[in-house]
Amino acid sequence: MKNLHKLALISAISFGFFSQGNPVSAQQQRITCQSQNGRYRFCETNTRGGVTFIRQISNAECRQGSTWGYDRNGIWVDQGCSAEFSVRDRGGNNNNINNNSGGDNTAAIIGGVLAVGAIAAVLASGSNNKNNNSNNNNSFNDTITCGSDRGNFTRCNTNISRRDRVFLKRQLSNSGCWENDTWGYDSNGIWVDAGCRGLFEIQR
């Protein structure tokens, strides 16, 4: 019940910030990237603020790190994966969208989003600890927080099998987290670099 009350408070705070206008949504852009005839395709776009998978539009399965991914220069797809993505410019400048909102409002809203995200991360950490101790379907998914210590390469050891998939669930740092650039994983665990700190989910 306490968590429900905290989540309700977060929702109220979020609504207050977003009801001031639409500057955050104005910074978002949707892009479709298609692997035609099963071939690798790179779709150049600004991904400094992160990439969100919206929906799959192909019959071929889209799996992050396997048939799609992204770096700071754009999104790539392969093996027939075609999907719609949402990209957000961390600096507030979108390639195809002009932001006409005032600088003060934008700074306030971004600050509010970061504050709400921090609170949500704390709640999520507590919830994940409880879920890991319970016998339910979520026990097949593990979460781990891994951070680049003082901007240096850091490895967080954990067992990851060949069938496991790792996703960046939430970025916790001001420095960008880009797969295969400032974070990645192998059989020995998850690695981060250049100040990236995030909450990662291991789907088993």
pLDDT tens digits, one per residue of 109-159: 666 666 666 666 656 555 555 444 444 444 468 899 999 989 999 999 999
* 116 belongs to a structural domain: yes
**pLDDT bucket at 49, cuts 50 / 70 / 90:** confident
Quote the CA–CA distance of 32 and 85 in Å, as a whole number: 6
Q: What is the dihedral of CA 55, 193, 78, 45, to 10 degrees?
A: 70
pTM above 0.75, yes or no: no
CA 164-169-175 angle, 5° bins: 120
What is the arithmetic mean of pLDDT over 12-41?
69
Q: Contact at 8 Å (CB) between 166 and 202?
A: yes
The number of domains in the chain is: 1
Q: Report yes or no on 183 lying in a domain.
A: no
Whether residue 176 is contained in a domain is answered as: no
Cβ contact 99:107 at 8 Å = no
Please write the tens of the pLDDT for every residue from 165-196: 999 999 999 889 999 999 999 988 999 999 99
Share of the chain above pLDDT 90, in %: 46
30 C-beta neighbours (distance < 10 Å), count:
11
Check whether 16 has a pLDDT greater than 80: no
- Structural domain containing residue 114: 1-20+102-134
**Reported confidence tier of residue 162, pLDDT bands at 50, 70, 90:** confident
115 part of a folded domain:
yes
Dihedral-angle region of residue 21 (phi above 0 means left; psi in -120 to 50 means alpha; beta otherwise) = left
More confident residue, 81 or 132: 81
Q: What is the mean pLDDT of residues 49-59?
A: 92
- Dist. CA 161–CA 145, nearest whole Å: 18
> pLDDT value at position 71?
86
